[in-house]
Structure 1
């Protein structure tokens, strides 16, 4: 279902276990910071709301979305990190750069989760314009950061 048809901040409360002692890494791209900071606030708020100790939420910033995969790997390889949430925003431009970055980031984040056998969540917006990004970072379509955090929580309860 497209996010234009579903609010990203609406999710089922089922399969949500006790995460009070779990440790989460959140990697945030600095590129499109207005959007990615809103994504972080959403993810952080959902984790805290579901009982995660604030000291167990580790934030790391990277320059852009392309760097999310490697930084996610650095966090995932730490045995005390239970799940990693990767947050970024890639907005379509005039060149094919968008396609290459989106594909590389999606593949990279997937590979990290498989390599370390732990949830590594793709919380990256890939939009046509800034307006669409803002609508999915706390705007009329909810917040992809909320969705990414609840996905991490649910995967830990799998």
Structure 2
């Protein structure tokens, strides 16, 4: 089914698990703040709806999506975190800058996850235009921030199971 016809944030078919006791950091880019703010709201609400406590959620702002990498790395120096959610938005412009940033952020987030052996969740929108981003930040396609929260819960619980 085409994503143009689907809310991608429907989790009714999943058993997500309970987030009580999980300590989760959310690193959010300030660039494209209208969109990243909506992603942040979705992530926090997703965590709370699945049993996380407000005092176990740490929100850290960084300037842009590229800085999500070092933000996650800095956060994970504190070994008490079970997962980090990285939220950002990169919108295609007229230059290849978009390609370089998206590639670097994807690889960088993966490298941080491997370095610390902890879930580091990629909640970065990489869209052609602002409308597509808004559609995925609480619009007709759901909220990628909420999706990232669900992923963080599932991966943190998996990590705890196989320690």
Residue 67 (1) aligns with residue 67 (2): yes
- Give 2:153's aligned residue: 153
Secondary structure of 2:67's counterpart equals: helix
- Rate the CA distance shift 1:2–1:90 in 2: closer, same or farther, 3 A: farther
When the two structures are superposed, what TM-score results if normalisation uses the length of structure 2? 0.92
1:2 is displaced (CA, Å) by 6.4
- Give 1:27's aligned residue: 27
- Rate the CA distance shift 1:149–1:79 in 2: closer, same or farther, 3 A: same
- Give 2:56's aligned residue: 56
Superposition pairs of residues 131-146 of structure 1, within 5 angstroms: 131-146=131-146
When the two structures are superposed, what TM-score results if normalisation uses the length of structure 1? 0.95
Question: Which deviations, in whole Å up to 9, do the C-alpha atoms of 1:35-64 show, x marking residues without a partner?
Answer: 000000000001001110101100000010
Q: How many residues align?
A: 157
- Rate the CA distance shift 1:127–1:70 in 2: closer, same or farther, 3 A: same
1:3 is displaced (CA, Å) by 4.1
Superposition pairs of residues 1-158 of structure 1, within 5 angstroms: 3-4=3-4, 6-11=6-11, 12-14=13-15, 16-158=16-158
1:25 is displaced (CA, Å) by 0.3
Counterpart CA distance in 2 for 1:62 and 1:3 is 30
1:8 is displaced (CA, Å) by 2.6
Q: Is the 8 A contact 1:113 1:120 kept in 2?
A: yes
Structure 1: segments with no counterpart, 5+ residues:
none
Counterpart CA distance in 2 for 1:3 and 1:112 is 29
